[in-house]
Structure formats: structure tokens, C-alpha cells
Structure 1
Amino acid sequence: MTELEILTALSPKHRVGALAFGQDPFSGPQSTLSVDEEIHFKRENDLKKIARYVRLVDCIDDDEIDEFRGTLSPDDLFNILVPSLSPAGGARPKALVTYDGVEWIAKFPKRGDRWDEPLIEHACMTLAQECGIAVAETRIIQEESSNILLVKRFDKDNIGNPLHLASGFTIADFIEDQT
């Protein structure tokens, strides 16, 4: 899928931020996939499965990724990719999840991480809060021997309307793996 196809395939109901996409400028935001839009929103018990997929991909050598992809049928790719497409965007694997009855953005370790990025981000967010900086609530959970960062949804107003946002990397014009 191209980046445009991914953007227009994602469900607008749970999207992150205020940008939305649709098939035309008149029908409003909508998914172009003929699947239940709830497929993009995960439940607490899905985190273990997602963490397992992330760990499996981490075990594949770079030169074997294309070979691995070639072993999958179109149905296999659909079943793996569609549930993992996240409206949260960004370079880090993410999922929108309900955990303990609250909506969170789950951030997973990424292939090639040099250190425990979810744990480091949680520590930085906690430190920022201790310094009086307004930040989203975070917490760490463990699944499949991996730390997963949960960031409480900060991108909606009190009645659920999307709010504009930009990541720190976007504002600073940084590329995560090159900083």
C-alpha cells in the first residue's frame, strides 16, 4: 500500500489529530477499506499479540525481510497488516487501545532500538511532569518480555472532537533514528 492508501484506509472514528481523509472532499472522513472500523481500535488483551508480532519481526535479519514478505499470501498480509494499521501514525509501532476502561495510545519497542525506548519515554514524561510541564499521563506495562508505553489520549477535547497536534520530532524537524 502507498502512504496515501494507508492514510485513506484508516478509520476516522479513533484517528489521532485533526487531519482526516476520505474518498472525495464532500463525503467527509471515511475508511476506504470494506472492514469494520473497530478493527483499528484494540482491546487490552490484544497488546500481548501485538507485542509478539513486534518481537517476531525484530528477529528477522534485514536481508530476510523481503524473503519473509514473499512467503505471505495476500490474505496473510491483509490479516497481519489491517489489524496493525494504526491511526496514531509515526515511526514507532503504535496501537489505539482501551486499557482499564480508558483510551490510550500504546507505543511498542521498534526494530533496531538501541535501548528501551518505551521506558525512556515514560521516564522523560514523568520527569517533565515533575518539573511542572503539562504532559499526557503515561504508564508502562509488560507483555512478551517487552515494555509497552501507554500514553493517555490527549488528542481529543472533552466531547471527543479531534485536536491538532504535532510531535516533537516534527516540530524540531528531526528524524528519530538520525538524532
Structure 2
Amino acid sequence: MATLKRTTVYIYLAGVPVPAGIMTSRVDGRYTSSEFIYGNRYIQRDDAVPVDPVSLPLPLPGRSVVYRTSPDFAVFNGIRDAGPDKWGRYLLDKKYPTAGLDEFDYIVSSGSDRVGALGFGASPTSGVGVWDGHAFVPVDDRIPELAQLQRAVDHADDSEDQDFRLLLEYGPSLGGARPKGTVLWDGELYLAKFSLSSDAWDVCGAEYATMKLAAACGMNVPQVIITEVLGKSVYLIRRFDRDGVSRVPFHSALTMTGSHESDYGRHSYKDIVSAISKYSPTPAEDRLELYRRMVFNIFCSNTDDHLRNHGFLYASNGQWQLSPLYDVLPFPQNTNSWSLALQIGEEGRAATVSNALSAAAGFGLRQQEAVAVVEQIHEVTNGWRDIYAECGQSQLDIDKIAGCFHVGG
């Protein structure tokens, strides 16, 4: 039997949560669907930002439009972006072990560190809260200490552990599979990623070194730091969806392309290029940046380059800019050929230079420009061992991931 659930969707504008509209979900298992309607006051604001620029464009002032999810979409992509993925869902399942959480519950039950600028509450006058299974309660804005978070991760299988219980109350909501949380570092907000006892190599250190390698290739990389907590590596990346205390609207490329996660394997870099051309204030620069990232992913075997691992930040006047780089990590390969998550060019998802060059025109690049990008990134990634060593990676860990760098490695 279907159940109706409703929430007011807030968006932070200039640091203040503003009610944007109301989402109603008809929860019915795989047949779940949702509706959304903007508030009249919100769409009259000069600074109004769409909750989802593709599925929920701002209607003209004075018009009341009821948006409905497309078939097979439980909620709108732009709202789903504000919810947790594997790690956050694991925590919520631990927190509410008998609740049988659905997509709506995961989104509205998450903590205050969710990505982007959305929030959720009981009504347009209630303010932002967190759903506790019965009602919206005040948001816990505490920022845990790094050591506390690492201890909680270490005891993630023990629901009675004190640090883990505090983590459950804090309720991190950021996406991705690995344990993470927001921390303060030198007065700035950073996303911290933690090591797992099951890691076969220093995964946190490898991600840090890979981001440094990407920066050396000339890509837009945010500030990254590697540190050690309780004898384990912790990787820190500055939150580019925060400007001081203000939240910056962010959406994944999955949202900006209007795609469905079930179409994994059909998604392409061309889809992201189309979104850039439509929404970016600097489309030529963003297309070149994306091409660099695609070539880099080929050289370092980052095969987890799906649409959620590319994003857009709100610029102004309805425009969205390609976000800085994130979630880039080599994946060891056992063969001499491999594929990326996204379609590249004439050879489909094949991670080859020839495939990248075949896609150049779609990025607005002349062939000689694409060749120059490939050669420059090849030259830099060819020295990956030196950069990884400079970043503190042990010789043993470098040898373990050597298979990631088949081309020029």
C-alpha cells in the first residue's frame, strides 16, 4: 500500500535557508514517485536558484507548475544529490535498524553536512530540520574532531560504541562509498576520508597523491591535505561547495544531464559536454578541463568516473560551472586493456588514447589541440612514481598500484 510523505525543500541563499517548495513522495516500493511545486514567494525572488535545473526549472513568476518525476525516478535527481550514498545509508540503517528506510527517508534523515545548498523541514515556516522517523527535529551542527571520527570508523560494526553512537547522532550525509565526514582544518571546512582496516594499500594516501598528480597536469584541483590520525592516513579535501559559512549550490553531472543511474554504461562524456555547453558561463574552458580529466582518467586507470563523480557549482544568473576535481583514484588493472565508466568516443568506453582523440571534436577541440593535451598529460603522468614518493607513498604501496599506469608508466 502506498504511503504519502511530504517535506518542504529549503535552499540556502547568502547563508540563510529559504523555503523553495514542497516535495510529496508517493512511496510504493519500486513504483515510488514524487511531485514538486515551487512556492510563489520563492520564484518571485531575484536570487532564486532552481532546486534541479533540468527536472525542476524555475517557472515564470505567477505560474504554478506541478512537476512530476519521470518513470522509474523515485525522487528528482537534484534532490537526490542532497542525500547519502553507501556510507551515509549504512549509518542511517544502523541508527534506525527496524525502520526499513526508503529513498525519501534517507534524504530527509541525513545530517547538516550534506553536499550543496539544500535542506529539508516540516513546513515553510519550520526551518531546516532532520527527520528522526517521527518528526523533524533540530539539526545538529556540531563538527566532530578528526580523532573522534576515526575512532567511530574503526568501531563501525559496534552500534554500542560511544564514538560510533555520536557519529550516528551527527548523521553525515555526504555521498560515496568510503567513510567520511566534515571537519575544520585551519579554520576551513574540509571533507575527511578515512582509512579502513581492509585496505590493501594506503588508499587515502593514493588519492592525495593522485590529486597532486592531476594538479601537476594543470587541472582545477581544490586544496588537499594528507595527515595521520591514530596511526592511519586521513585524506582531506577542501569543500568547494562551501564559501566560509555559506553553502554553494551543487549538482552532480547525473542531475545536470537528466540521466538515470540505472543507465550506467550508457552515460558518456558527451553528455557532460552538452550540459557544459548549455549551462556554463565559460563553456570552452570547462570543455577543455573535462577533456583533460578524461585523458587523465585513461592514463591513471580511474575507472570510477561515473556521472556522480563529476559535478557543477552554481555560478549566477542560472548558470552552472564545472566543479573542481574530486573522487579520482587509480584502480589496479589485471589486463592490458580496460574501460572507463563513461563512454569516451568511437571505441565506446575503451580507455585508449586513440579513443580520446576520436572524441576531440565533440569537446570543441581541433585534433592538434587534443594531441597537445594528451602529450602533456602523458609526460606528467609518466613521472607518477616520483610524485607519489614525494607525497609520502611507500615503495611497497607504489609497487602495488603500478598496474594502474599502463600507458607510459
TM above 0.5, yes or no, is yes
Alignment correspondent of 1:134: 220
Cα offsets for 1:63-102 (capped at 9, x unmatched): xx5xx55xx49x997545113x213232111111111111
- Rounded to whole Å, the distance in 2 between the matches of 1:82 and 1:96 is 14
- Rounded to whole Å, the distance in 2 between the matches of 1:137 and 1:163 is 19
Point out the structure with the larger strand share.
2
Q: Which ranges of structure 2 fall in alignment gaps of 5 or more residues? A: 1-95, 254-303, 310-328, 332-340, 342-409
Within-5 A mapping of 1:33-48 = 33=132, 34-39=137-142, 41-42=143-144, 46-48=145-147
- Rounded to whole Å, the distance in 1 between the matches of 2:193 and 2:125 is 34
Give 1:82's match in structure 2, choosing from 154, 169, 177: 169
Tell me if the contact between 1:155 and 1:165 (Cα under 8 Å) persists in the aligned partners.
no
Alignment correspondent of 1:17: 116
Alignment correspondent of 1:119: 205
- Rounded to whole Å, the distance in 2 between the matches of 1:157 and 1:135 is 16
What's the offset of the Cα at 1:169?
4.5
- Rounded to whole Å, the distance in 2 between the matches of 1:121 and 1:105 is 13
Q: Which ranges of structure 1 fall in alignment gaps of 5 or more residues? A: 58-64
Change (3 A) 1:161 1:52: closer
Tell me if the contact between 1:88 and 1:105 (Cα under 8 Å) persists in the aligned partners.
no
Cα offsets for 1:27-47 (capped at 9, x unmatched): 6643224355213x23xxx11
Change (3 A) 1:117 1:76: closer
% identical equivalent positions: 28
Higher-RCO chain (CA-CA 8 Å, sequence separation at least 6): 1
Give 1:31's match in structure 2, choosing from 121, 130, 150: 130
Paired letter, 1:171? L
Within-5 A mapping of 1:1-179 = 1=96, 2=101, 4-12=104-112, 14-23=113-122, 29-33=128-132, 34-39=137-142, 41-42=143-144, 46-57=145-156, 65=157, 68-69=158-159, 72=160, 78-83=165-170, 85-110=171-196, 112-156=198-242, 160-166=246-252, 169-171=305-307
Taking structure 1 as the reference length, what is the TM-score of the superposition? 0.68
- Rounded to whole Å, the distance in 2 between the matches of 1:125 and 1:87 is 23
Change (3 A) 1:110 1:25: farther
Paired letter, 1:49? Q
What's the offset of the Cα at 1:163?
2.6
Change (3 A) 1:111 1:24: farther
Tell me if the contact between 2:205 and 2:235 (Cα under 8 Å) persists in the aligned partners.
yes
Paired letter, 1:37? D
Alignment correspondent of 1:62: none
Change (3 A) 1:81 1:172: closer
What's the offset of the Cα at 1:5?
3.1
- Rounded to whole Å, the distance in 2 between the matches of 1:144 and 1:78 is 19
Q: CA RMSD in A?
A: 3.5
Alignment correspondent of 2:43: none
Paired letter, 2:249? L
Alignment correspondent of 2:79: none
Secondary structure of 2:116 counterpart = coil
Secondary structure of 2:190 counterpart = strand
